[in-house]
Amino acid sequence: MPRKFLRRYLPKSSEVRQHRQLRLFGALLGNPRLWHLNRHGVAGGLGVGVFWTFIPMPFQMIPSAATAILLRVNVPIALAGVWISNPITMAPMMYGQYRLGLWLMGSDMRQRRGFEPTIDWFWQEMANIWQPLMLGSLTCAVLLGMASYGMVHLIWRLHIRAQLRRRRLRARRKRPESS
Domain boundaries of the chain, sorted by first residue: 3-88+142-174
Greatest mean pLDDT among 3-12, 69-78, 122-131:
69-78
**Alpha helices, H only, the chain:** 3-9, 13-18, 39-53, 61-71, 75-81, 90-105, 119-174
Tell me how far apart the alpha carbons of residues 34 and 16 are, in angstroms, rounded to a whole number: 11
Q: Let me know: does 135 contact 105? Beta carbons within 8 Å.
A: yes
Q: Per-residue pLDDT for 112 more than 90? A: no
Greatest mean pLDDT among 79-93, 101-115, 145-159:
145-159
Where residue 138 falls among pLDDT bands split at 50, 70, 90? very high
Asked which of 26-30, 133-137, 153-157 is least confident by mean pLDDT, the reply is 26-30
pLDDT at 123: 78
Q: Which of 73, 59, 56 shows the shortest CA–CA distance to 22? A: 59
Q: Let me know: does 93 contact 62? Beta carbons within 8 Å.
A: no
Q: How far apart, in Å, are the Cα atoms of 93 and each of 86, 97, 167?
A: 10, 6, 43
What mean pLDDT is predicted for residues 158-175?
88
User: What percent of the chain is predicted at pLDDT more than 90?
Assistant: 36
